[in-house]
Structure 1
Amino acid sequence: MTQKRMGWGLLAGVVGMITVIEPLLVRANDDAPVLNSNDSFAGDLDSVATTVEEWLAQIAQARVQITGVQLDISESGLQVVLETAGELLTPTTRLLGNALIAEFPNAVLSLPEGDEFSQANPTEGIALVTVSNLPGDQVRVAITGTEAPPMATVSPGVQGLIFSVVPGTATAEADEEAIQVVVTGEQDEGYNPSSASTATRTDTPLRDIPQAIQVIPRQVIEDQGITRIEDALRNAVGVSQQVDRRSPAGSFAIRGFRSNGLRNGFEFIQSGQGRQTAIQLPNTIERVEVLRGPDSVLYGAGEPGGTVNYVTKQPLSEPYYGADFTVGQFSFYQPSLDLSGPLREDRSLLYRLTATYQNFGSFLDFVNGEAVSIAPIISYQISENTRLGFEYEYAYYSQTSNSGLPLDSVIFDLPRSRNYDFSNRPRNGENHALIFSLEHVLNESIRLKSAFRANFFNANDRSLGLFDFDANTNEIFLGYREGKDRRNTYSLQNSLTAQFNTGSVQHKLLFGVDWITGKSADSVTEFGTLTLNAFNPNFNQPFQFDQDFFFEREINTTEVGIYLQDQITLLSNLKLLIGGRYDFLTYNEEGFELFEGERTDFSASFSEQAFSPRVGIVYQPIEPISLYASYNQSFSPNNALTRNGDIIKPERGNQYEVGIRAEFGNLSANLAAYQITKTNVLRTDPNDPDFQIPIGEVRSRGLEFDIGGEILPGWNIIATAFLNDAVVTVGDESSPEGNTLINAPRHGVSLWSTYEIQQGSFQGFGLGTGLFYVGNRETQIPNNFVLPSYVRTDAVLFYRRDNWNVQLNFRNLFNTRYFEGNAGQLTTAGEPFTVQGKVSVQF
């Protein structure tokens, strides 16, 4: 009760701060110059909107005005200054011939001399600079070089935004859209990212993608004080946590199905096991992209629910030095470094280095550990049209294990801290990854890209795990195991992007070939068991056992995929997406088991081929609205034989989705309705229980909504809500029809919002709060035990000034008792009320 009163007190304090600070803010500004209505967004809002029409009108007024354009000659070239009364959003950029084009959304050019600016030959190497309005509240800046496209960096200035232009050279780094503008400092778009690459493998505006995709930006990760990157997915719609006590970073389900995992477009999670190969610390991550629905057209075999792509930080063209230190309860502390900038004066050679050390305890008994992440990146612009990249990723973790809790009502009477693994023997893992990338622009229309990743993972697992519970005697049965896991994976991605027209129809064609091969060797040694009383465990007893089981195997896999995708612009407001992929897979497994002195050898070998289509359409009746519909298909190998020796066909996922995406000012929202049917699901052969047959079918259908962005200057929001019905539609006795899928809540809601004071004596002070609601979750099929719903409340207080930041994060403000999810027959409790502080500085 005391904890809940404290929580309500903190929440009341957050609300109270607004009522106290606002009058002080007014008084603090009494002597300040009065701003004109054109100089401040707040000045445009003469009254609070009381109707939808008034609200839309106020949003329209929120667009940023560019009131002047100034050209200044510098030693290195030219400075183009856009004089503004507000903060411009990050532009979309591209090359057109020798012209560098940047288009700013939600902006309007309002010059005293007219609605367009033009200056020919302002300096040597620059032929023309133009600034003009575009339909739909956009402003275009075009800078044309005399012989080659110029290079530009963008940085904030006293009067507005400054383009620092160097003539006659290519940019230091180009993205899928031939991006030639690199923003100084951390490149983010607040709470409202405008594009993503996961859905199309090209940097496509979200409004042009005919499939639900959500981006969790860096600013949200920072504001929520996230120290485990998987916690960022609380902000993603339709994503539910799964518990895997042997995974260093957990796993997730999307739309009722296990998620696929990528890191910069490369497979990061073993799809068959859903287990991450290494822990990921947030300091290396720029954003998290969550694609909902099948992704087999672009990434090959996988589950139909969706994909999480962790996009890492990349080198910057201007010097950037950041450091932070986080400290919290349960012996938590984390120092981090983030360094970036050019290694040559011409900015052709860029670097970035992120490094983090994390030490942690836990509210769970006997759990503690540490983690390390180091990631250097080099980007080298070899020539005007060619860029070479090199990345190295090192990750290490060591931690003692959590035994988990049984799926039984007894968990509601146990202490939240209960953990039965008292062995105090840490498990550890180490991951090394090398990435080489090469990009080459053949001409204005054709771009080649090749990337190679080599990944080496080693892990040792030592744990005392719970495997059974007797509700009559309250006895917990534990088994001690030691395991080793070695995985080496090599991936090669090659793609060609071509932009061309057929008459008035525009095409953006993507052709690619992917190759991935992997070898894994794992072994498990199981020893005897011991018994503890669930309520009064004796943690002082010895647990020295004799070996009673040994398992060892080696798996070799290869997948080759060939794909073709065309993004077709039929009209300026009508766009079509068509794609297909053909995959070839091989799987070979060999191993043996040793039980009570008797050895059993086993082996399996399979080959699969599969075609996955995709089609989608986007219609934009007005500029801020996109209506879309799509069909996608996925596949996942079953790697099994029937009792007749026939290879079982892969599982197939078929999704139909319709949706609407809206962009109003600095806010973006998406509403989607979908149905996924997964067929060829394995079920026990009634004629021979040692084999399986592909007769099962499951279906997931639902409605999802997400919104993110800036409501008013300084007031940010990211929120989601969903309804989901994921059930067995064709089953048997072990999986009855109508049963709900595991870890698939029928509904969920999340809301996170922050406010930062924009001016006056209290400028830089901010606060925020979040609510995360998760509905009831079934834990087994047949359905017989439910994890109850819960609401978790978080909050943050922060102060940002110049180049430093101080913040306090409060998680589970009201100390709500809840359970994260389950894996197999186990679950684990969610963390209690926790306070965490952070100090950071950037130069």
Structure 2
Amino acid sequence: MLFLTGKKGCRLLGFSSLSVIAALGMGVAPTATAQIAQTDEINVPEMPMDRALDAIGRQSGVTVNFDPDAVKALNSQSVRGARSAYEAIEAATRGTSLVVVRDAKAGLVILSEIIVTARRDEAETSVLVRQASTSDRNGLGLRNQPRNTQVITAKTIEEQQALNITDILRNAGGVSAQLNTPNSGATYTIRGFSAGGLVNGLTTASQYGVPAGADQPVANIERVEVLKGPDALLAGFGNMGGNINVVTKKPSAEERLAVSFDTGSFGLARGVVDANSAITEDDTLSGRLIASGQTMDHNYGGYTGDENWLIAPSLRYKDRLTDIVIGASLNEATVGIGAYTLFDNKTRQLIDRDPSVPIYSSKQGIRISTHRFYFDATQQIVPGIEFVARGMRDETLLTTRAANVGYSRAGDLVADIQGSRQKGTANSVDGFVRVKRTIGDVLEANFNAGYNYSDGDSAQRSGLVYTRVSNLTLGANTTVPVVPFSPFGDVLVQNGGKQEGVYGQALIEFWKIKVLGGARKNWFESQSQTFFAGPGPVVVRRKDGLSPSGGIIFDATKDISIFANYARGEQASFAVSKDGSILPNIITTNKEAGVKIDLFNKYATINASYFELQQDNIIVRDPTDPTNLFPGPGQRGRGIDLNIAGELLPGWTVLASLTRTKYKLLTTNASQTVIAQQPRDTYSIYSTYRTELSEDVSGGVSAGLYGRSSSFANNLGQYVVPSSRQVDANAFLSVSDFDINVGIRNIFDRRNYGSASTFTYVPVGEPRNVRLSISKRLF
């Protein structure tokens, strides 16, 4: 048994410090594998913490390091039937401020939260995340949740040189994403259903009618959580197949100043500054400032070049009992619409055109202004009881200046020129109490109960002049005059709403089984007003709904768990048919069962599951009368979902996903016979190998394959978008504090088309292009 003694005020900065400690003659074993050796069941009764950790080390034969000052006056929780030293230490330290981390040289190390505050989140340094997702209110790590959640980390985002949310979501199974259509910002579907997007687990203006998604500059993204199936119900809104939760970066006490620069094809230039440091001498208060700027001459479709500016300050107070983060994200972006083509309405074949030539005009784009202000607070009331509160104010302005290209009733190719502006706000708060308790000698119980509230509004304007351009060509525009976009008029439609919810969950652990059950009661309110011929009446509608859920995990072995879950979602529908009746609520059932497997002493993990999602209503617009809406046929998706993440061998990491889904309409009618935009298969595999080349010099390579199968581009199955495949490659070199990353995207220059829900807009993927990233840590 080895102990670490530390002087007051001494700061340990992450794993690098642990390696230094190990080098001081600590006598640890030479490899991580030896350190994390497994043993028979470990049982330790409640006792002083230092004695408990010593007992765990003796029973397991694993080196356990800790600072006696950090565990002084602490008592352990009882440990029963633990199958590894890591699991035993987690059980013993539950409800305290201690955290156990693995180190290749120092074995298992128990750190106080002040030391943890000095380290960046694991998502910034690793492709594998085990921490609890923001959406989970029990505080469970991903390994212990009875659901299949995929996490894409900042480390992966940086290595892949992603520039936007759709770049990131290529790694996510079962997700179809589009960026910058002529009508909106980022939009995505998960397992066949549309998702609005969350930030730090809270709703944005996208939930209230501004289709900008949860997109934001990647410089401030810590991780992206792809919440599939029942996870989506925790946010309270529809998002029946899942949701995308963007988690922003947090301050730490690590003194760090890093700058980076990217350049590449199409005149790309991007710079990022990331400054982070403790503010007070005791490390309890820390701050972080992230700023980024990006420009581009034009995008690969020949449209307006990108301009993107971000400033994101944040503060964090963290001590033994309290963790509070407050921050802001101020973003101004102008981006061109994405390259696209369309189907020939006579042959129903995809029009093969040069995607680098703009259709109609090169000056078509979208401006998104997003201002977010947020806080996240956790307060330990007594050991085992915590109060958590989160809140966010979101202000989004979405302006589109793009032509809508399609066919007239006579079948001629035309472009409609008008433009639109949508301004939206959203306020969200979520507060709950989390309780962790040992009941008797055989039960561990986690409880949480809370209240969630959000409100929002959106105001829509259109250009004062509507123009239709005929005789449109899809090549270089030399004959059709470009009509200037007109100024915007007054507000035409104003929508608003709010949602309140109360919820409770209970997690019971006994023997090798964890059982989770909960329910959420929602109250919905919708408010709308039109101004086409002067202010119309304010229409207010209210509904409510109940969403129960449950799940179970069975730990079959020390490395294999089997899980299953069920959730019923009820989302209020306020859509009105032509006869004035309100469409019925949407009811969805989510079922999933699968297995989670730890590999290589928990350095990698596999999640595999079978799922079934069924929805009883789909709101359909009558193709013969666009003013009429009606509840369409029910939709069902059944499929498999496989995710792999982690380090398979020293220096070799893999992140992979595969989702195969069979979509089916429960009934069909004259307006819908198939499900559009949803490929049967989506897949990705990204692998990196890094090695030390010499002292202070390391290097590596990576490759990624991203693809999907074909999909329908309309609800009658008349138009089919072909399958797509893209291969990227990167080479890395690190010299002292410099990191260099050279990437080739779409290395085989394959013409790829994105999934689409309309045959008049089919995204075209990027051609072969090059990116260079250089970063320098100044201190």
TM-score range for the pair, normalised by the shorter chain length? 0.7 to 0.9
Q: Secondary structure at the match of 1:69?
A: coil
C-alpha change, 1:635 and 1:829, in structure 2 (3 Å) is same
- Contact 1:476 1:534 survives alignment (8 Å): no
Amino acid at match of 2:236: G
Question: Per-residue CA shift, 1:383-431, capped at 9, x if unaligned?
Answer: 7533433211101111344584323356542102132241626542211
- Contact 1:495 1:513 survives alignment (8 Å): yes
Cα distance, 1:562 vs. partner? 0.6
Cα distance, 1:447 vs. partner? 0.8
Task: Tell me what 2:15 maps to.
Answer: none
2:631 to 667, 689, 694: 694
1:659 to 594, 600, 619: 594
Cα distance, 1:192 vs. partner? 2.1
- Contact 2:329 2:371 survives alignment (8 Å): yes
Aligned equivalents of 1:414 and 1:141: distance in 2?
A: 61
Greater Cα offset, 322-331 or 75-84: 75-84
Question: Per-residue CA shift, 1:134-186, capped at 9, x if unaligned?
Answer: 623637669999xx977899898987787776xxxxx45xxxxxxx8335346
5 Å-filtered alignment, 1:302-341, equals 302-341=238-277
Aligned equivalents of 1:618 and 1:144: distance in 2?
A: 21
- Contact 1:243 1:821 survives alignment (8 Å): no
- Contact 2:646 2:655 survives alignment (8 Å): yes
2:454 to 513, 516, 538: 516
Aligned equivalents of 2:529 and 2:210: distance in 1?
A: 21
C-alpha change, 1:425 and 1:768, in structure 2 (3 Å) is closer
- Contact 1:754 1:768 survives alignment (8 Å): yes
Q: Which runs of 5+ in 2 are unaligned?
A: 13-17, 23-27, 37-45
Amino acid at match of 1:591: T
- Contact 2:591 2:612 survives alignment (8 Å): yes
- Contact 1:237 1:721 survives alignment (8 Å): yes
Task: Tell me what 1:262 maps to.
Answer: 198
C-alpha change, 1:348 and 1:412, in structure 2 (3 Å) is same
1:478 to 404, 411, 415: 415
Cα distance, 1:209 vs. partner? 1.4
Aligned equivalents of 1:128 and 1:684: distance in 2?
A: 63
Greater Cα offset, 678-687 or 195-204: 678-687
Q: Secondary structure at the match of 2:244?
A: strand
Aligned equivalents of 2:87 and 2:103: distance in 1?
A: 17
Greater Cα offset, 337-346 or 235-244: 235-244
- Contact 1:284 1:312 survives alignment (8 Å): yes
5 Å-filtered alignment, 1:298-697, equals 298-360=234-296, 361-381=298-318, 384-402=320-338, 404-408=340-344, 411-422=350-361, 424=363, 427-468=366-407, 476-503=413-440, 504-525=442-463, 526-531=465-470, 532-535=472-475, 537-538=477-478, 541-543=481-483, 552-571=492-511, 573-593=512-532, 601=536, 604-641=539-576, 645-665=580-600, 666-683=603-620, 691-694=628-631, 696-697=633-634
- Contact 2:421 2:488 survives alignment (8 Å): no
- Contact 2:517 2:550 survives alignment (8 Å): yes
Amino acid at match of 1:831: E
Task: Tell me what 2:39 maps to.
Answer: none
Amino acid at match of 2:152: I
Q: Secondary structure at the match of 1:215?
A: strand
Q: In the alignment, is residue 784 of structure 1 matched against residue 718 of structure 2? A: yes
C-alpha change, 1:274 and 1:303, in structure 2 (3 Å) is farther
Task: Tell me what 1:200 maps to.
Answer: 136
Task: Tell me what 1:41 maps to.
Answer: none
Cα distance, 1:459 vs. partner? 3.1
5 Å-filtered alignment, 1:241-256, equals 241-242=177-178, 244-246=180-182, 249-256=185-192
Question: Per-residue CA shift, 1:640-671, capped at 9, x if unaligned?
Answer: 24566543321111111111111112221111
Q: Secondary structure at the match of 2:646?
A: strand
Question: Per-residue CA shift, 1:573-611, capped at 9, x if unaligned?
Answer: 2011101100101101111336xxxx7957643211000
Aligned equivalents of 2:255 and 2:747: distance in 1?
A: 39
Amino acid at match of 1:263: V
Amino acid at match of 2:663: A
Greater Cα offset, 612-621 or 456-465: 456-465
C-alpha change, 1:424 and 1:687, in structure 2 (3 Å) is closer
Amino acid at match of 1:506: E
- Contact 1:450 1:495 survives alignment (8 Å): yes
Aligned equivalents of 2:644 and 2:354: distance in 1?
A: 37
- Contact 2:339 2:355 survives alignment (8 Å): no
Task: Tell me what 1:772 maps to.
Answer: 706
Cα distance, 1:678 vs. partner? 0.4
Aligned equivalents of 2:605 and 2:70: distance in 1?
A: 41
2:30 to 85, 93, 100: 85
Aligned equivalents of 1:566 and 1:717: distance in 2?
A: 34
Aligned equivalents of 1:384 and 1:285: distance in 2?
A: 26
5 Å-filtered alignment, 1:114-129, equals 126=72
Cα distance, 1:203 vs. partner? 3.2
Q: % of aligned pairs identical?
A: 22
Aligned equivalents of 2:490 and 2:716: distance in 1?
A: 31
Q: Secondary structure at the match of 2:247?
A: strand
Q: Secondary structure at the match of 2:531?
A: strand
Cα distance, 1:99 vs. partner? 5.6
- Contact 2:453 2:501 survives alignment (8 Å): yes
Q: In the alignment, is residue 812 of structure 1 matched against residue 760 of structure 2? A: no
- Contact 1:277 1:457 survives alignment (8 Å): no
Amino acid at match of 2:30: A
Aligned equivalents of 1:102 and 1:636: distance in 2?
A: 49
Greater Cα offset, 257-266 or 136-145: 136-145
Q: Secondary structure at the match of 2:168?
A: helix
C-alpha change, 1:222 and 1:335, in structure 2 (3 Å) is same
C-alpha change, 1:765 and 1:689, in structure 2 (3 Å) is closer
Task: Tell me what 1:275 maps to.
Answer: 211
Aligned equivalents of 1:743 and 1:618: distance in 2?
A: 34
Cα distance, 1:313 vs. partner? 1.0
C-alpha change, 1:837 and 1:134, in structure 2 (3 Å) is same
Task: Tell me what 1:5 maps to.
Answer: none
Amino acid at match of 2:222: E
- Contact 1:248 1:278 survives alignment (8 Å): no
Task: Tell me what 2:86 maps to.
Answer: 138
- Contact 2:621 2:630 survives alignment (8 Å): yes
- Contact 1:201 1:298 survives alignment (8 Å): no
C-alpha change, 1:436 and 1:651, in structure 2 (3 Å) is same
Question: Per-residue CA shift, 1:113-140, capped at 9, x if unaligned?
Answer: 9767699x9569945899x996236376
Task: Tell me what 2:221 maps to.
Answer: 285
- Contact 1:100 1:149 survives alignment (8 Å): no
Cα distance, 1:710 vs. partner? 1.0
Aligned equivalents of 2:229 and 2:547: distance in 1?
A: 13
Q: Secondary structure at the match of 1:330?
A: helix
- Contact 1:402 1:419 survives alignment (8 Å): no
Greater Cα offset, 268-277 or 319-328: 268-277
- Contact 1:527 1:549 survives alignment (8 Å): no
Cα distance, 1:364 vs. partner? 1.1
Aligned equivalents of 1:319 and 1:217: distance in 2?
A: 22
Cα distance, 1:798 vs. partner? 0.6
- Contact 1:230 1:249 survives alignment (8 Å): no
Greater Cα offset, 242-251 or 309-318: 242-251
